[in-house]
């Protein structure tokens, strides 16, 4: 879920051009000019102007489209009771943002909301890649896992990452995005994601509680002033 949160924040911030969250900044465009062959998206220096201009890419949504999407979230989007947080409380069509999203909210957004939200507002080829990303996480976070399906996901993950690299600028990718390659293998080796996470938390909690009990018992049995002190050796 932590991986989903970081990937979801990066996609949403890049599509909506949120300051501090968007991976499509001038530095990313400069790196893109060096590493990629996308001449139409390179930074330009218009004649007679001091500042550089950043050409529009496919993932730069128009303000009218962003407002329509957030109005849909605010007025139409509904979940069953207890399924997810009430996203319409944080949707702000005026500021073109959604506030107050937690890790579980990004989990729901990436797997269920993102393909529906972006359908018709971005090119179909790019939408299919994002829908494939959503499907990958839906399969990995399901209640049941099929060994054959996990083998398909292991072959699908590298291809999906290459497709994303063809779409987004190099600044979009960090170690968290590259974890997509390892998630199907981890699911095959460690079973369900929810079960593995719950077992790890339970073991850590038991270890901490055991140490706390031991320290409390020692404190009650031997107060600090009665404990033997080590002799200082010259």
pLDDT single digits (tens) 56-94: 887 788 999 999 999 999 998 888 888 888 888 889 999
Compute CA 110 distance to the chain's CA centroid, rounded to the nearest angstrom.
Answer: 8
- The pLDDT, as a whole number, for residue 199 is 41
Question: What pLDDT is recorded for position 196?
Answer: 44
Average pLDDT score over the chain: 80
What is the reported pLDDT for 227? 46
Query: Rounded to 5 degrees, what are φ and ψ at 72?
Result: -65, -40
Token pair listed for 71: 């109005």
Name the token pair of 168. Answer: 């987004």
Please state the pTM of the whole predicted model: 0.75
- Cα 62 from Cα 155, distance rounded (Å): 35
Picking from 29, 98, 22, 16, the residue whose alpha carbon sits closest to that of residue 63 is: 16
| pLDDT classification of 162: cutoffs 50, 70, 90 | very high
pLDDT band of residue 221 (cuts 50, 70, 90) is: low
Q: 121-141 pLDDT, tens per residue? A: 999 999 999 999 999 999 888
List, for residues 6-46, the tens digit of each pLDDT value. 999 999 999 998 888 888 888 888 888 888 888 878 888 76
Tell me how far apart the alpha carbons of residues 12 and 58 are, in angstroms, rounded to a whole number. Answer: 14
Band (pLDDT 50/70/90 cuts) for residue 224 is: very low
Q: Rounded to an integer, what distance in angstroms lies between the CA atom of residue 196 and that of residue 198?
A: 6
């Amino acid at each position: 879920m932590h991986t989903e949160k970081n990937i979801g924040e990066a996609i949403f911030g890049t599509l909506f051009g949120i300051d501090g969250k968007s991976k499509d900044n001038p530095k990313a465009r400069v790196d893109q000019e060096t590493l990629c062959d996308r001449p139409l998206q390179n930074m330009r220096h218009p004649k007679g102007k001091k500042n550089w201009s950043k050409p529009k890419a496919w993932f730069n949504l128009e303000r009218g489209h962003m407002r329509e999407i957030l109005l849909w979230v605010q007025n139409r989007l509904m979940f069953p009771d207890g399924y997810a947080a009430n996203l319409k409380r944080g949707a702000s069509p005026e500021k073109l943002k959604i506030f107050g999203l937690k890790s579980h909210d990004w989990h729901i957004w990436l797997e269920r909301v993102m393909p529906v939200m972006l359908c018709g507002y971005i090119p179909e080829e790019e939408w299919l890649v994002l829908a494939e990303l959503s499907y990958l996480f839906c399969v990995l976070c399901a209640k049941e896992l099929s060994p054959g399906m996990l083998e398909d996901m292991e072959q699908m993950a590298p291809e999906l990452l290459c497709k994303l690299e063809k779409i987004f600028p190099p600044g979009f990718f960090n170690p968290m995005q590259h974890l997509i390659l390892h998630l199907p293998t981890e699911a095959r080796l460690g079973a369900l994601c929810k079960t593995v996470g719950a077992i790890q938390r339970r073991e850590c909690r038991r270890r901490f509680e055991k140490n706390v009990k031991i320290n409390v018992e020692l404190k009650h049995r031997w107060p600090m002033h009665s404990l033997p002190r080590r002799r200082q050796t010259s």
